[in-house]
Every structure is written in C-alpha cells, then in structure tokens.
C-alpha cells in the first residue's frame, strides 16, 4: 500500500470577506501526479502556500509523511510557487549554486538536475538569454536539487507557447516516472487531463470533487447509435435497464450508460430486440465537460 504523502484536514484561510480556503480535506499518496484544478482565484495558490509553510492557515491542519511539518519533512519537498526568482546576470549554474547554499545541497547535484531538464549544454549561459520555456525548466531543476520525494508546481506551463508546454509536460512525466509524488496546481483542464493521475477540483476555496482522472473521464460513458428503424430504436432505449438517459434527432440517439457498461453490451441488447445498429460510436466525457458541469452545479 502506498504511503500517504500529504494529509490535509479541514483547512481554512480567510482574507477579510473572502474565504480563500474553505474547510478543505484531501489525501495524496506516493507516486501520484495530483492536479489541483480550479479557476483563477479558486484558492489553489493559497492552499500550496499553506502546505509549504509560507502562509498561516486560520484553522485546520496538515501532515507531511504522517508528521507535523518540520525541517526534516521540508527537505523532502521541492517547490515552484508562481514566478521563480533567478538573477538575470548569472548563469544557470551560478544561480543553482546560490540555491544549493541556501538548502545545504552539494554543488555536485547541479549537473544531475540540469541533465534531467535538458539544460546541460546551456549551463553557462546567462539566465537573461533563456527563453521562457528554458526558464521554467531551470525552475524545475532548482526544485529537484537535493532529490526531494515531492515536487510542487504552481501553474508550470502558464505563459508558455505550445512547444514549451509540450517540453514541460514531457519533463513532468519523466520526473514522475521515478516514483516521485507531484502536486500540480492549474486552471488548464487539458494540462491536468494529459499529465495527472488524480485531480482535486476546487471552487471558491471549497472541494467540489476529488478522484482519479480516469474515473472522471469514464464516468457517464456515452455511445452514439443509429438504426434505420428509429421508432423501435427509441422504444428499446426507453426500455433498456442500463441506458440512464438519451437524446436524439434524425435516426441517431446519444445514450448515457450505467457505469461499467460497454459498447458490446449495447450492441447485443439492441440485436436481441431485432434492431441492427448501423453505427455505434463510443464517446468519452472530457475533463473540461465534467469540470464545467461541476461549476454549474456548485
């Protein structure tokens, strides 16, 4: 059984009338790529600030590795919050040396992290000559100094062009493959769906849902079906024990199935009713569709 890396219980933080974090509870286990997803202003960065010890919560608690946060647990965590601060007139290597001094990490670790983020060939280039994507990769390198077991990233692809986004995504997957736990805050649904294994959806500081990304995408599984005999197709859909709902026009129906049902079972059911389907197209719900439905319901 995987170790619980982070446990948050009933966390609250207010800024005047704004309830930035509202009774938030969640557990994150080793090896998960855990996305904290919400619109801008939903409380993502405040939550990360609290669990990193840079913002004080009003109430509630959290534990790292089953312990109350302390110097030893903090050394196991690498983080990038908002914009990384590097000196523009120093090289990548010189900037990382400063961070090594602050964290008491040996300089020998610099070459390792630069290799991970594919910046070894530009280690002596001044930071001000780096593209935005290279700057983000250097920030991830800085977070990886000392080989922490947990990496916390706040909007890691924000402001990047498509090529830079692809580079950072590939890098996050590469780091995650070493069984590190990654906590990633983002307002980009596509980013969370493509990178994360688990997702926490928050809105106005409140937890709306937490589950695996796979469960969300596969929940509410839909199929589009078509038959020449539309009247009997519709009648059979009404009588089906596993079609939760349907809508349609022309000769087609869009059916939402009970959880666990397959396209093959749909085909067999209609065939048993004497209906030969001309088309049967599985349609998976995107994280975006699910997210927007959650916000509308909240």
Domains 1-76+180-217 and 219-297 share a fold: no
In percent, the amount of the chain with pLDDT more than 90 equals 55
pLDDT in tens, 136-153: 999 999 999 999 999 999
What is this structure's pTM?
0.75
Closest CA to 246 of 271, 273, 270: 270
Choosing among 3.40.50.300, 3.40.50.10190, 3.30.930.10, 3.30.420.40, the CATH entry for 1-76+180-217 is: 3.40.50.300
Looking at residue 127, what DSSP letter applies? G
Please provide residue 11's backbone torsions phi and psi, each rounded to the nearest 5 degrees: -80, 135
C-beta of residue 256 within 8 angstroms of C-beta of residue 289: no
The first and second tokens of residue 186, run together, are: 């983002």
Label residues 48-71 b or e (16+ Cβ within 10 Å = b): bbbbbeeeebeebebbbbeeebee
In percent, the amount of the chain with pLDDT more than 70 equals 92
Closest CA to 76 of 56, 52, 108, 107: 52
| Residue 203 pLDDT > 80 | yes
| Residue 175 pLDDT > 70 | yes
Side-by-side strand order, sheet with 243-249: 243-249, 252-257, 222-226, 279-283
Choosing among 3.30.70.980, 3.30.420.10, 3.20.20.70, 3.40.50.2000, the CATH entry for 219-297 is: 3.30.70.980
Domain edges within the chain: 1-76+180-217, 219-297
Question: What's the pLDDT score for residue 86?
Answer: 94
pLDDT in tens, 75-123: 999 998 766 789 999 999 999 999 999 999 999 999 999 999 999 999 9
Side-by-side strand order, sheet with 4-15: 18-29, 4-15, 59-64
pLDDT in tens, 112-129: 999 999 999 999 999 999
Closest CA to 26 of 216, 175, 183: 183
């Amino acid at each position: 059984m995987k170790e619980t890396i982070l446990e948050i219980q009933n966390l609250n933080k207010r800024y005047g009338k704004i309830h930035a974090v509202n009774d938030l509870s969640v557990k994150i286990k080793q090896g998960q790529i855990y996305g904290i997803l919400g619109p801008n202003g939903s409380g993502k960065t405040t939550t990360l600030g609290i669990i990193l010890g840079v913002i004080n919560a009003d109430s509630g608690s959290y534990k790292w590795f089953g312990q109350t946060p302390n110097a030893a647990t903090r050394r196991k965590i690498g983080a990038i919050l908002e914009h990384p601060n590097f000196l523009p007139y120093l090289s990548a290597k010189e900037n990382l040396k400063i961070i090594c001094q602050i964290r008491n990490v040996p300089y020998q670790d610099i070459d390792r992290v630069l290799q991970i983020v594919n910046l070894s060939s530009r280690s002596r280039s001044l930071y001000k000559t780096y593209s935005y994507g290279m700057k983000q990769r250097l920030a991830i390198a800085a977070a990886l100094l000392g080989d922490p077991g947990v990496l916390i990233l706040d909007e890691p692809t924000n402001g990047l062009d498509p090529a830079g986004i692809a580079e950072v995504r590939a890098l996050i997957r590469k780091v995650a493959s070493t069984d590190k736990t990654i906590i990633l805050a983002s307002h980009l649904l596509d980013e969370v769906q493509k990178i994360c294994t688990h997702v926490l959806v928050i809105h106005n500081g409140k937890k709306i849902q937490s589950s695996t990304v796979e469960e969300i995408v596969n929940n509410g599984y839909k199929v589009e079906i078509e038959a020449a005999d539309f009247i009997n197709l519709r009648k059979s859909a009404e009588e089906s024990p596993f079609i939760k709902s349907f809508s349609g026009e022309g000769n087609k129906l869009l059916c939402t199935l009970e959880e666990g049902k397959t396209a093959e079972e749909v085909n067999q059911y209609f065939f048993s009713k004497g209906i030969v389907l001309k088309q049967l197209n599985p349609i998976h719900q995107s994280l975006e569709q699910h997210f927007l439905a959650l916000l509308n319901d909240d």
